[in-house]
Amino acid sequence: MRQYLNWKTYLSLIALLIVGASLHYTNQLAGKLADEETKKVRELAAALKTLVQSNNNQENAFASNIIEQNHAIPLIITDEKGGIQDFKNIDTTKSLAPNARLIQERLAEFKKLHLPITVDFGTGKSYVYYGESDLLTQLRYFPYVQLAIIILFLLVVLIALTTAHRSLQNQVWVGLSKETAHQLGTPLSSIEAWLELLRDNDENSEAVIEMQKDLDRLKLVADRFSKVGSAPQLEEENLVTRLEGIVEYMHKRAPKKVDITLHTKEKEIPVNISGPLLDWVMENLIRNALDAMAGHGKIDITIANHPQQVWVDVQDNGKGIPNYQVKKVFTPGFTTKKRGWGLGLSLSRRIIEKYHHGSIYVKHSEVGKGTTFRIILRR
C-alpha cells in the first residue's frame, strides 16, 4: 500500500477527517436546535388554545406574548378539513406565485418535515404545521459549505506545493547540469592539449584517432549538459537522418543479439529541433530499452509523419513496467536500476516538453512483453 500513499494522500485524509468531525458535530447541534424549535411550536399551540378558552387576562397576555415572540419558525394553521386559517414567518414577497398557491406549496413541505401539532379547542380542532427556521437550515448546510471551502483550499495548497516542488527540482537539475558541464570543461581542454603533443609522433596516429573520437564524444556530452540550463536554438533538420545517426551509434554499442531498427515511410521529414539534445533523449530511451533486456531482443524506432505533428515511437520487448510505476518513470530520482540517479527520463521530458514544446509519455507497457515510449514533436 505504501506505493500508493504520499503526502498528498495524507493531506486529503486529514481534510476528510476534519470535515467528517465537523459534519457529525454540526448534525448534533442541528438536532438539538430542531428539538428546541419543536418545543417552541408546542408552546405556541398551547398558547393558541389558551387564547380561545381562557377568560383570564393575565393568561391571555402571556399567551399572546409567546405567539408574538416567534419571529423565526415558519408555521401554518389549518382546520380539520385542511383549510388554511393562518400562517406566520412565510415571506410571500419572494415568490412570483399567488399567495394561496405559495402557502399550499409550503404546507406540503411542512407535512413532509414534521407531524402536525393538534390543538383541541373542545368545539373543534386545528393543526399546526411548521418548518425549520433559517438558522436551522443554514446550520444543516454549513458542513457542506465548509467541505467545499476545504476542498478549494486543499486544491490551492496542492497546486502551490506541486508548482514549488517542480520549480525547486528544475533549479536543482539545471544547476547540476551546468556544474557538470563546467567541471568537464577543464579536463577536456587539458586532454585536447595532450592529444596535440601525441600527434607529433607518427607512431601514435592510430591511438590518437580513437582518442579524438572519445574526446569529441565527451565534448558533446558537456555541450548537452550546458544546454539543459538554457533555452537552445532550434534549427530545421531532417529527423530521419538524425535518428539514423543515433541508431547507427547505439547499434555498435549494443549487445550483438539486440537488433535496433528504424522504420519510416519517408526519407526526409524536416522538423525544428536541437540535434544534440534530441540525440540525448533518444540515447536515454534506447539505453533504458537495452537495460530492460537480458542481452538479447529487439528495439523498433518508428517515425510517423502527420500534418501538424511527428510521432517517434521507441518500442522494446524487454521486461516492461508495472502499471503502478508508469506514472513515476519521469519523476526525478525514480529508478528501478541498482545504479543511476534516475535523472535520464526526467531530463528527457524537460528537453521534449520545455525546449521542443512537444510531449513524451509511456504509450504502452506490459510486464514481460515490453514498453513503448512515444515522443510527439510539433511540425
| CATH (domain of 351) | 3.30.565.10
Of 138, 159, 153, nearest to 14 by C-alpha is 153
Based on the domain organization, do 237 and 373 belong to the same domain? Answer: yes
**Percent of the chain scoring above 70 in pLDDT:** 90
d(CA 61, CA 39): 20
224 occurs within a structural domain: no
Confidence of residue 98 (pLDDT cuts 50, 70, 90): low
d(CA 344, CA 285): 8
227 occurs within a structural domain: no
Based on the domain organization, do 298 and 371 belong to the same domain? Answer: yes
8 Å CB contact between 73 and 149: no
Side-chain-facing half-sphere of 113: CA atoms under 13 Å: 23
d(CA 250, CA 232): 24
Grid cell digits, residue 235: 534549427
Q: Find the domain containing 191 and state its range.
A: 139-213
Query: Which pTM was predicted?
Result: 0.53
Based on the domain organization, do 110 and 145 belong to the same domain? Answer: no
Interhelix angle for 275-291 vs 239-253, to 10°?
40
> By mean pLDDT, which of 129-133, 233-237, 254-258, 334-338 is the weakest?
334-338
Strands 296-305 and 75-79: unpaired
d(CA 216, CA 187): 13
For the ranges 7-21, 71-85, 128-142, 294-308, the one whose mean pLDDT is highest: 294-308
What are the DSSP calls for 338-376, one per residue? SSS-S-HHHHHHIIIIIISS-EEEEEEEETTTEEEEEEE
Residue listed under C-alpha cell 427556521: 133
8 Å CB contact between 41 and 128: yes
d(CA 309, CA 313): 13
Sign for the CA dihedral angle at 268, 274, 276, 282 comes to negative
Of 218, 170, 155, 217, nearest to 8 by C-alpha is 155
Q: Which residues pair with 303 in a beta bridge?
A: 312
Which stretches of 75-139 are assigned E, i.e. beta strand?
75-79, 84-88, 117-120, 125-130
d(CA 236, CA 275): 9
Mean pLDDT of 24-49: 86
Number of domains in the chain: 3
Based on the domain organization, do 101 and 61 belong to the same domain? Answer: yes
Is pLDDT of 4 > 50? no
Q: Which residues pair with 310 in a beta bridge?
A: 305, 377
Write the CB contacts of 273 (distance below 8 Å, at least 6 apart in sequence): 234, 235, 237, 239, 242, 356, 377
Confidence of residue 310 (pLDDT cuts 50, 70, 90): very high
8 Å CB contact between 309 and 269: no
Maximum Cα interatomic distance, the chain, rounded to a whole number of Å: 135
Based on the domain organization, do 363 and 280 belong to the same domain? Answer: yes
For the ranges 53-57, 224-228, 311-315, the one whose mean pLDDT is highest: 311-315
**Residue 1, pLDDT score:** 45
Grid cell digits, residue 178: 551546468
Based on the domain organization, do 276 and 208 belong to the same domain? Answer: no
> By mean pLDDT, which of 114-118, 239-243, 321-325, 337-341 is the weakest?
337-341
341 occurs within a structural domain: yes
End residue of a domain, out of 213, 242, 275: 213
Please provide the average confidence, as pLDDT, over all residues in the chain. Answer: 83
Q: Which residues pair with 262 in a beta bridge?
A: 301
Write the CB contacts of 113 (distance below 8 Å, at least 6 apart in sequence): 130, 131, 132
**Residue 302, pLDDT score:** 97
63 occurs within a structural domain: yes
Mean pLDDT of 148-156: 83
d(CA 217, CA 211): 10
* SS3 of residue 269 by DSSP: coil
Based on the domain organization, do 155 and 177 belong to the same domain? Answer: yes
**Residue 339, pLDDT score:** 59
Mean pLDDT of 146-171: 79
**Residue 141, pLDDT score:** 83
Write the CB contacts of 342 (distance below 8 Å, at least 6 apart in sequence): 331, 332, 333, 334, 335
